[in-house]
A and B are shown apart, each in its own frame.
Chain A
Amino acid sequence: MALKILSVDDSRTIRLIVTRAFKAYDCIICEAANGEEGLAAAAREKPDLVILDVTMPVMDGVTMLGKLKDDPDLKAIPVIMLTAESSQENVLQISRLGVRDYLAKPFKEEQLLEKAGRVVPLVKKAA
């Protein structure tokens, strides 16, 4: 069964890059443009992994992560934060909220796949 990955980022560019990164793998990518839409998508889709931006309008990634971890139905979903803000304080803050890993922007698709592969079993699509 295909893995379901939820990409939450206000940048369409990043959502397209995430989708492209997993193209060769047996994954379904769902998208949301902010934390509020991301929470709704997480409740609806029950993804196997969330790839979450930090700075977004409406609801930022840190707030969404906190709400996800407060929800008994969603708190087990692993989250990888994708952030342009990788200061030590930021990284500490998101670690405390139970994030599984983080990736600082700029990033290479291989780095994202490597991090994701440590959290969920990525299987290449049959040729």
Chain B
Amino acid sequence: MNTTIPNLIDEVSDLLNIGVSEVFRTMLTLEAKPAAVLHDWHASGETLVAGSVGFIGDVNGVVYVHVTAGFARKLASRMLGLAEAELEGDEMVNDVIGELSNMIVGNVKSRLCDSGAPCVLTIPSIVRGQNFKIEPVHSCERRLLAFRCDADHIMVELLMKHST
């Protein structure tokens, strides 16, 4: 892929926009609509869950899919066809958020590979906590994408490394 980072990060952002909508529609029958980025999208002190998956190769980056813990439980319940009370602790919720993140970034990775930028995915991981934020190092470019599912928010954070 012969393009500069600013262009590339815009292309990856576009792919994420498509990927989030497609994954939510197919796996959850939910419409995730692109929305304005709000810095107060969750209550202060509210527990957040972030699924993260990286891509490594000709292009390098990491994507975090942030939701509130309450919305994460709703998503897990819907995806697994279980009542929220049937979800065993946080483990099943974490697994669902990890898998949704994996599908979203897998979609992006496949399209990057097809356009001549081979890369591989990392294993998904989960960050869970209150009042945390991802701070990119200076060699990274960052984009924030926001989505709404009715009253719930999804915040997607993309960090991409500058080529050396």
Q: Is the interface of B mostly helix, strand, loop or mixed?
A: helix
With A84-B121, A86-B110, A90-B113 already in contact, the answer to whether A105 and B103 are too (CB < 8 A) is yes
Q: Name the one of A14, A16, A84, A87 contacting B113, with C-beta atoms under 8 angstroms.
A: A87
Instruction: Tally A-B pairs: CB < 8 A.
Output: 67
Q: Does B27 contact A (CB under 8 A)?
A: yes
Q: Does B123 contact A (CB under 8 A)?
A: yes
Contact with B along A86-123 (1 / 0, CB 8 A): 11111000000000000011111000000000000000
Across the interface, do B106 and A84 meet the contact criterion of CB distance under 8 Å?
yes
Selected A-B contacts with CB under 8 Å, 22 pairs: A10-B123, A11-B98, A11-B99, A12-B91, A13-B79, A13-B95, A55-B123, A84-B107, A84-B109, A84-B110, A84-B121, A86-B106, A87-B109, A87-B110, A87-B111, A90-B110, A90-B113, A105-B102, A106-B22, A106-B26, A107-B26, A107-B27
By a beta-carbon cutoff of 8 Å, the part of chain B in contact with chain A is: 22-23, 26-27, 76, 79-81, 91-92, 95-96, 98-99, 102-103, 105-107, 109-111, 113-114, 118, 121, 123
